[in-house]
Chain A
Amino acid sequence: DTGVSQDPRHKITKRGQNVTFRCDPISEHNRLYWYRQTLGQGPEFLTYFQNEAQLEKSRLLSDRFSAERPKGSFSTLEIQRTEQGDSAMYLCASSLVGSGANVLTFGAGSRLTVL
């Protein structure tokens, strides 16, 4: 068990560019979550998957945000046409349904800076 891994840890981009973040959950976990954390705030839920199915995505911030988990293992979060307001820490977490499903293990996050 190597924990939840996120890549890259830091990303600096120019406004209008697309960015993609990757999350590798704990291998036996079937649920995967994406959260966003802005300065001075607690994490805010964006979306989650159970295996490869995206069960909740209404909290994605706009249609510029999309997430995938094609094989039920790793996940990607893409932000198209980035804006300065997208600057934040993007957190991934995973859990195992039926074994304390509400105990999430978080990764260290991917920090995005949009210039």
Chain B
Amino acid sequence: AQSVTQLDSHVSVSEGTPVLLRCNYSSSYSPSLFWYVQHPNKGLQLLLKYTSAATLVKGINGFEAEFKKSETSFHLTKPSAHMSDAAEYFCVVRNYGGSQGNLIFGKGTKLSVKP
């Protein structure tokens, strides 16, 4: 079975400082992993996806994530936070079994950005 664990429920950074949102995964297969972002009153938006190509994945808005099989991690990073990055971020793994639907979401990490 597949699952993801987001290690922090809330992360707070200052504008202009780096962002690190941590995610560990568990999968019986070579996983497909994603990060989605959810701004208030807006739909979930795909930031980036890993599907067994390059281990360093670049996404939108300057975010990137590195797939580390040895550590079963897929942490999301950004070199310099912007106020507009404040949102909730979800680490997601594709489910290869039919019983749980297509995607399995973590519980989310709320990112706050201080001026």
Report which B residues bind A (CB closer than 8 A): 9, 32, 34, 36, 41-46, 49, 90, 92, 94-95, 98-108
Distance to closest chain B CB from A100 (angstroms): 8
Task: Determine whether A59 belongs to the interface, using a CB cutoff of 8 Å to chain B.
Answer: yes
Are A102 and B43 in contact, with the CB atoms below 8 A? no
Task: Determine whether A3 belongs to the interface, using a CB cutoff of 8 Å to chain B.
Answer: yes
The answer for the CA separation of A104 and B49 in the assembled complex, in Å, is 11
In the complex, which of the residues B42, B101, B102, B105 contacts A42, with contact meaning CB atoms closer than 8 Å? B105
Count residues of chain A with CB under 8 A from any CB of chain B.
Answer: 30
Distance to closest chain A CB from B33 (angstroms): 10
Q: A3-B43, A91-B44, A107-B43 are in contact. Are A41 and B107 (CB under 8 A)?
A: yes
Q: Which residues of chain A have C-beta atoms less than 8 A from B36's C-beta?
A: 106
7 shortest interchain CB distances as A-B pairs: A45-B101, A42-B105, A106-B44, A106-B43, A108-B43, A102-B94, A43-B105
Listed residue (A41, A91, A106) with the most chain B CB atoms within 10 angstroms of its CB:
A106
